[in-house]
Chains A and B, each alone.
Chain A
Amino acid sequence: MDKISDYILKAGTIDRRWIFLIIGLAVLLPLFFPLGLPIRATNATQKVYDAVEALEENSKVLVSFEYGPSTKPEIHPMAIGLLRHLFTNGHKVFVTCLWPDGQFMADEALDEVAKEEFDLTYGEDYVILGFRPGNEAVVKGMVSNIRKLYTTDARGTLVDNIPLMKNINKVADFDFIFSASAGYPGTVEWVQYASDPTGVPLSTGTTSIMVNDIMPMVNSGQVKGILAGMPGAAEYEALIGTPGIGTSGMDAQSIAHLVIVLFIIFGNITYFIETQRSKKY
């Protein structure tokens, strides 16, 4: 028994580079050899799907991009999934960005979905208003008067000359808001300054780490569901029936989480043996 304990303790002093290597393999291998684990939608994801489904055809949806390349693997799949869902149901999409790099993400997502998949017309089916500095002040400004804040869209076209912008003057003119958010400014600001005061329903997609902060708002009904990190994106893809990047990343995330849990358990076994020995001697 002592020999086994010795082996375990020796293994417990493993160099952290081995841990890095194992995690790297745990992420990489499932990407090359997918396991096809079943994806089950949580209530929070189902609420987002139901909120979009409840919209009448031709609804005006404001989608805000508040993430950048660092959080792209988590948020971008849900943005793509949501845009697919919105365009499939025949809604009009208006994009705004509270983060400067959000505009790049929006361009990429709309190129992929609106242009390539649905062959939609810019200015008639969707429009990118772009980034404006000012964080929550931008949200507040949009609630009051969009045209004061945005005289031109992201392509330099006068907002007054864009057909889709006809009769759009403030946030209250939209039927639904979706915030694809990776931090501040993001979902919280949209709830505080736009959705709550105007009563326009809002859903969100956030990084896993932000879910804790948003959950109270989901429970109180201020936010109609939440797509929580990459699992949320995968669940949404399953609901709309179009597997994408979120789904393919789920196997890798599952195995990586399992490996981390196994490391934690192993670490605790070594800790237990150490404390038992120190008590003994």
Chain B
Amino acid sequence: MIWKRQIPILIATVIGFATLFGWFIDHPGIESFVNDDATQWYDILASFAIFLGALNLMKLQGKKVFKQQSGWQYSLFAIGGFFFAIVAGFIYKGNDAVEWGVHVTSKGTLFKWMFDYMFTPLSATMFALLAFFVASASYRAFRVRNLEATLLLVSGIIIMVGRVPLGSSISSWFIMYLMVLIVSIAVNIKLKDKKITFSTFLGGVLIVTIWGSSLGWPIDQPGLFYLPILQDWIYNNPNVAGARAIMIGIGLGIFATSIRYILGIEKSYIGE
């Protein structure tokens, strides 16, 4: 039990404290440990983790094939791909003029061929499919259900159009006319009075037209209705505020979890 429980906890506690102190104590020994040794230990452990990960992948996929669990055919591709990569990486270069190691990124080798003609198209296809699913999901799920959903929808549309060149070609006056139309529709829905709706619409159009004529219709004025300026404002203000709050929250969470690890309270890494 001492090897499986107390010793690992002791190692985590000692290394955790040493690494933490490295940021606060100006001592060459501790500093060198944090900056050089600890990072190299991490590199070595990460390399072992890759090895363990590969073994685990084979174990899980192999089990699926042997037991013929649902989707076992896909596992065959996973295993085949794994061994193909091993052959291309360690056994067969495909180009004798290239040294081992460098062959991974050199032209004319099997590994480079695998990357260019198998991995790249597959990877790009998976990511490109997102565009289609985003379009379909936005159409079905992006609804004006309540105030929060409406805010999300409006800011989403402003970002989507304002971020691309098309947005900078849309005049702020066009957006203002659009606003007049939307306000008039809202007035009609709320009051159900044709006279008030018409006068709202006409009044709005007149105000925008007179204002625009007096200023000479500059495309980006007033900035409040120019999509690129609006999207910039959304990015730099509400977005930054939210992102900062999340970052601070995550930071506090990491701090609390790290303290739990260092003090030996959190023991999930030894299976408890």
Contact = CB atoms under 8 A, between A and B. Distances in A.
B240 A219 contact: yes
Contacts of A42: 228, 232
A254 B161 CA distance: 7
B240 A261 contact: no
Contacts of B240: 215-216, 219
Interface string A136-151: 0110110111001100
B68 interface: no
A109 interface: no
Contact of A140 (B39, B121, B232): B39
A261 B39 contact: no
B42 A216 contact: no
B132 interface: yes
A155 B107 CA distance: 12
Interface string B162-194: 011111110000000000000000000000000
Contacts of A271: 143-144
Interface stretch (A16-24, A55-63, A77-85, A158-166): A16-24
Interface stretch (A33-41, A117-125, A173-181): A33-41
A267 to B, nearest CB: 5
B101 A156 contact: yes
Given A133-B50, A212-B239, A264-B153, A257 B36 contact: no
A16 B42 contact: no
Residue of B101, B142, B242 with most chain A CB atoms under a 10 A cut-off: B142
B164 A141 contact: no
Contact of B244 (A24, A208, A216): A216
Contact of A70 (B39, B101, B126, B164): B126
A255 B142 CA distance: 19
A137 B46 contact: yes
* Chain B residues touching A, majority SS: helix
Nearest to A103: B105
B235 A215 contact: yes
A134 B239 CA distance: 31
Given A38-B168, A137-B42, A141-B36, A263 B143 contact: no
B132 A19 contact: yes
Interface residues of A, number: 68
B214 interface: no
A169 interface: no
B124 A72 contact: yes
Given A69-B120, A231-B163, A137 B43 contact: yes
A231 B104 CA distance: 32
Nearest to B111: A104
| Chain B contact patch, size range | 35 or more
A264 B136 CA distance: 9
Nearest to A132: B43
A264 B134 CA distance: 11
B234 to A, nearest CB: 10
Contact of B243 (A16, A73, A212, A256): A212
Contact of A216 (B38, B104, B121, B243): B243
Contacts of A143: 35
B232 A144 contact: no
A268 B167 CA distance: 21
A69 B126 CA distance: 10
B43 A69 contact: no
A29 interface: no
B157 interface: yes
A258 interface: yes
B138 A264 contact: yes
B268 interface: no
B99 interface: yes
28 contacts: A19-B135, A23-B135, A37-B166, A37-B168, A37-B169, A40-B228, A69-B119, A69-B121, A70-B123, A72-B120, A73-B124, A132-B43, A134-B43, A145-B35, A156-B101, A211-B235, A212-B235, A219-B236, A253-B164, A255-B166, A256-B131, A256-B135, A257-B160, A257-B163, A258-B166, A261-B161, A267-B138, A271-B143
Given A69-B124, A212-B235, A255-B166, 10 more contacts: A37-B164, A70-B126, A72-B124, A73-B124, A103-B104, A137-B46, A211-B235, A216-B243, A254-B165, A261-B161
